[in-house]
Structure 1
Amino acid sequence: MSMTRRERLAAAIRGEPVDRPPVALWRHFPVDDQDPEQLALSVAAFQSQYDWDFVKFTPSSSFCVENWGCRVVYRGHSEGTSDYVARPVSVPADWRRITPLDPRAGALGAHLVAVRRARALIDPDVPLLATVFSPISQAKNLIGGGMDIVHLRRHRSDLLDALEAITETTIRFVEAVLETGADGIFYAMQRCTADVISEAEYREVCRPLDMRILEAAHAASAAHGKPPFILLHLHGMHSYFDIAAEYPAQALNWHDRDTGPDLAEGARRFPGMVVGGLSQRDIVEGSPTAVQSLARQAIAAMGGRRMCLSTGCVMPTTAPWGNIRALRDVVGP
C-alpha cells in the first residue's frame, strides 16, 4: 500500500515496514542564498524537479553569524559554499562582544522569511527541515583558522561566554523557525571529530550546549503539535559517532562511505533512521548505473528498513542531473 511521505518517514524512523525506502538529497544554492525569495524559489524548484521525501533547507553557513559581523563571498566552490572575508573575532577579548541576538532581525530574520516562503511553495506532505549549526560550528566561522579550538584550550573563559550567547541565540532561532513552518531541524555538527578536538573536550564543552538546543527543539515541536524530527549531521572524517548516537534525534547522517561506520553498523549503534549510502564523490563521478548499484547495496544491507538514501554530506553543485535522477528513480515513485 502506498504511503505519504510523512507516513513513510515516520515508519522508517521507527524501523517499521515501508512501501519503499525514503530518499533525499540537498544542495547549496550559491548567490541565490543571499536573497530570501530567490533561495526559497530555488529550494522549491529542486524539490519540484526530484520529489524528495523531505526537504533540507540549505542556506549559506553565514546566515547565523552575519549579525555578529561575518561576511562571505561566493568564489565557485563545487559544494556551493562561500568564503568568509570578514570575521568579528581575532583576539580572545573579542569573544566578549558576542552577545545574544534577536532571531527575527537581520540575517536571521531574513532566513525565517525564506523558510516561510519555501514552506508555502512546497507540498505540505513534504517535511521541511531548517539548517541549524552547533554552537562550536558557529564559533569556528566567527574566528576561522581553527583558532576556536586554540582558544578553547588557552582562553576558555572568553570562548565559553561567547558559546553561551550563541547557544541562547540558536535556541531562540529554533523556536522561531519551528513556529514559522519548519517541521524539524538539520543539526550540523562540524567540530565533533578527532581531526580538531578531543572526545573529552567535546563531551565537556560542546555536548551540553548541543543537548540544550536539541531539547529546545523537542519542546518547540511539542508546543506546535508536531512530531519531533531532528536529523543530525556529523561532518568530517574521524567523527565521534557514538557522541551523536546518544543524542535525542530521529535520524543521523554522516560520511558513511568515506570514514565509517558503514550504514548497517551505524544502525546498530544509533536507534533511529540512518541517512546515507552514497558519498559525494559517488554522486558526482559515478554513472547512473553505478549510483543505482550503490543504492541497491545500501538498501540490501539495511533490509530496506530504518534508512533513507542520500549522500554522506551535501550534494555538490557539480553532480550530473542524470545521476541525481538515477538515485531518485531507484526506489520508484
Structure 2
Amino acid sequence: MNKIERVDAALRGETVDRVPLSFFYHFPEHQRAGRAMAQAHLDFYREADPDYLKVMNDNFYDPPNFQTLTKPSEWAKLQPAPLTSRCFQDQLTGLREIVRAVGKEVPIITTVFNPFENGDGMSDWKATDHLKLEPEKVSEGLSTVADSLANFVRACIDAGASGIFFAAHGGQAARHTEAEFRKYIKPHDLTVLNAAEEAGAAFNLLHVCGENLRLQEYADYPAHAINWSPQLGNLSLAQGRRVFNRTITGGIDQNGAIIHGSQKDVSEEVLKAIEEMGTRGFMLGAGCALAQPVPARRLSWVRQTVVGRRARGLKQYTSKKEAVKVYRLFYPQIAVIVASRTTHRVEAEALNSVISGSSDPPRVVCAMKREAPVAVMIRKSKSFSVNWMDSRFVKSVDFLGFQREGNPRDKIKAAGLTWLPGSKTSTPVVSEAAAALECTLDRVIPLGDNDLVVGNVVSVRTTRDFSGYWQFKTYKPLIYFGAVPGKKAGRYVLFLSRRRGLASKSQGV
C-alpha cells in the first residue's frame, strides 16, 4: 500500500498492510508562514516520512482594524476576515507549495483552530470569562469568526488539501457547563466542519484539545478520525472508540518516551497502543503536538517498531480474497463424517468444523455450506449422524471431503464404508466409526456463506477406547490440516499415541 491507500483504508476501518503513523510539532516563528513554512514542512516530511502530513497553522484570526477584545461587549463588533487577510494568505501560500511538491503521494491536512480558540487568543485568553458575563455578545462574535473560517476551509480544500485538522478547544469540564458548550461553542464548530465536509474533504481529523474533556459532546461532530490526549485525565483510546465509533488516532504520549525515553521505551509504548486498539480503524500518533521538536531518528523508532512487528510474522491481510482464508488458522482439526438420508438416498460429507455446542442438553454444531448435498438432506430428513473415523479410513474420509465425480445414491457405500440405521432415528451411522452421535435437527442458523446446523444428541455409540476420555489405545484420530495445493485432496496427520502426540507420518491423498 502507498500512503494514500493506507490512510484511506484506515479511515474506512478496513485492513491495512501496517498501522499508519504521523507526528507533528510547532515550528519556530520564522517558519510559520509562506514559503518558509512550506520548506520547513517538506524537510520534516522527507526526514520523518509520515503517512499523512499535518500542516501546522499558528496564524490566528486577524480581521481588519482589530484590537484586543478587552470587554464582552466588543465581541459583537468583530469584523469578518476576508480571504485576502494575511492570516489566511500566509497559510494558503505555504499550503499550495506543499501540495504542489508532495500532494500526489501523501494525504495533507491543514490545521484550523476552532472559533473559540481564535477568540480566546484575540481576548488575551479571557474568552471564558467574557462568555460567562455576556454569552450572547461573545457568541455573535464567534459566529463572525466561524463564517470567515468556513470560507478559509473551502479555500484550503480548493488548494488541494485532503481535509483539515480541526483543533477544538473549550470542551473542558472546568471551563464551561454542558449548556454553555452546546449553545455558545458547538454551533460555531459545526459551521466550520460542515463547510469542510461540503467542500468535499476526504480526511477531516477532529482534535479535541485539553484536560478532563467531555468527549461525548463531540460524538456527532462530522469528522473522519478523532484524536485527543488520554494522558490529560481523559478517556482511554479504547473507551473513546466506543463514544465515536470512528477511526482513532493517537497512542503516543506527546511529552513522554518519544521526547526523552529510550528506543525500548518508545517501542513498548507503540506495541501497547496497537495491542489496545488493533490494526483496523487506528492510526498511530501523539495525543497533541509533540512538546518540542523531535529528531527524525527518534520518530523512526516508531516506524521500526510497526514494521518490525509485521516482519516478526504478524501478517496483516490486505484483501478480502486473502482475509477469507483465516479459517485455516483453526487447522489442524479432527475430521469426522456427517451423514443423513431419506428413503432413496444417503448423503455424507467429511467435515472438520464440528463442535460441542451444549452439554446440558447435549447439542452439536456443524458449520457447512448451505448448498452442500448433506446440508440439504439434513433439512429434509431432520436428522443426522456425526462419525469419528480411525486413521485407517483416510481414503474414505478424503473421498467424502473431495468427491471428484458422479453423484452416487449412497455416498457412504461409494466411500468403501458401510452403515446401519440409528437406534433412535433412521439416520445412517457408519459401522466402522470409532464413535458416533445420532442427532435430531434442532435448528439451522444462516451465517455468511455457511449454515450452522444445530443437532440434539439422542444417542451415543463408542468403542471401548473411550472411557470418559479417549485412551488412544486403538483409536488413532485422523487429523486434517488443509487441502493439497493444486489438488482436490486433503492432507492428514496420523495420530499414533497419546504420549508421542502428533506423529511425523503424514499422508496426502
**Contact preservation (8 Å) 1:258, 1:279:** no
Aligned residue for 2:250, secondary structure, equals: strand
Aligned residue for 2:264, secondary structure, equals: helix
Distance 1:100 1:260, change over 3 A: same
Tell me the distance in 2 between the aligned counterparts of 1:305 and 1:257.
Answer: 22
Aligned to 2:101: 121
Aligned to 2:292: 317
Structure 1, unmatched stretches of 5+, are 71-86, 222-226
Paired residue type of 1:307: F
Does residue 234 (structure 1) correspond to residue 213 (structure 2)? The answer is no
Aligned to 2:10: 12
Using the size of structure 1 for normalisation, the TM-score is 0.87
How far did 1:320 drift?
4.5
Aligned to 2:249: 275
Tell me the distance in 2 between the aligned counterparts of 1:266 and 1:92.
Answer: 35
Cα RMSD for the two superposed structures: 1.8
- Taking the TM superposition and a 5 Å limit, the aligned residue runs for 1:9-88 are 9-60=7-58, 63-67=59-63, 88=68
Tell me the distance in 1 between the aligned counterparts of 2:44 and 2:148.
Answer: 30
Does residue 97 (structure 1) correspond to residue 50 (structure 2)? The answer is no
1:177 pairs, out of 145, 156, 159, with 156
Tell me the distance in 2 between the aligned counterparts of 1:320 and 1:106.
Answer: 31
2:223 pairs, out of 246, 249, 255, with 249
**Contact preservation (8 Å) 2:253, 2:287:** yes
How far did 1:93 drift?
3.2
Tell me the distance in 2 between the aligned counterparts of 1:205 and 1:93.
Answer: 15
**Contact preservation (8 Å) 1:190, 1:236:** yes
Does residue 292 (structure 1) correspond to residue 271 (structure 2)? The answer is no
Tell me the distance in 1 between the aligned counterparts of 2:179 and 2:150.
Answer: 24
Using the size of structure 2 for normalisation, the TM-score is 0.58
**Contact preservation (8 Å) 2:139, 2:185:** no
Aligned residue for 1:211, secondary structure, equals: helix
Tell me the distance in 2 between the aligned counterparts of 1:323 and 1:116.
Answer: 29
How far did 1:187 drift?
0.4
Aligned to 1:193: 172
How far did 1:268 drift?
1.9
Aligned to 2:199: 220
Tell me the distance in 2 between the aligned counterparts of 1:109 and 1:35.
Answer: 9
Structure 2, unmatched stretches of 5+, are 309-509
Does residue 144 (structure 1) correspond to residue 124 (structure 2)? The answer is yes
How far did 1:33 drift?
3.3
Paired residue type of 1:116: R
Which of these two proteins has the greater Rg computed from alpha carbons? 2
Tell me the distance in 2 between the aligned counterparts of 1:208 and 1:180.
Answer: 26
**Contact preservation (8 Å) 2:73, 2:134:** no
Tell me the distance in 2 between the aligned counterparts of 1:229 and 1:169.
Answer: 21
Tell me the distance in 2 between the aligned counterparts of 1:125 and 1:287.
Answer: 31
Tell me the distance in 1 between the aligned counterparts of 2:288 and 2:154.
Answer: 25
Aligned residue for 2:10, secondary structure, equals: helix
Does residue 266 (structure 1) correspond to residue 264 (structure 2)? The answer is no
**Contact preservation (8 Å) 1:68, 1:98:** no
**Contact preservation (8 Å) 1:116, 1:180:** yes
Range with bigger deviation, 40-49 or 285-294: 285-294
How far did 1:315 drift?
1.1
Aligned to 1:107: 87
Tell me the distance in 2 between the aligned counterparts of 1:256 and 1:330.
Answer: 22
Paired residue type of 1:323: R
Q: Deviation per CA, 1:110-167, whole angstroms, max 9, x where unpaired? A: 211111011112251201101111111111111024x211221211232122111101
How far did 1:96 drift?
3.1
Aligned to 1:76: none
Tell me the distance in 2 between the aligned counterparts of 1:184 and 1:140.
Answer: 24
Distance 1:7 1:201, change over 3 A: same
Tell me the distance in 2 between the aligned counterparts of 1:263 and 1:229.
Answer: 20
Tell me the distance in 2 between the aligned counterparts of 1:34 and 1:261.
Answer: 32
How far did 1:321 drift?
3.9
**Contact preservation (8 Å) 1:284, 1:320:** no
How far did 1:66 drift?
3.1
Distance 1:325 1:35, change over 3 A: same
Q: Deviation per CA, 1:88-116, whole angstroms, max 9, x where unpaired? A: 21122322331111123322112111110
Q: Deviation per CA, 1:210-265, whole angstroms, max 9, x where unpaired? A: 112111111111xxxxx521101111110111122221111011002332311222
* Larger RCO (alpha carbons 8 Å, 6+ apart): 1
Total equivalences in the alignment: 307
Name the structure with the higher strand share: 2
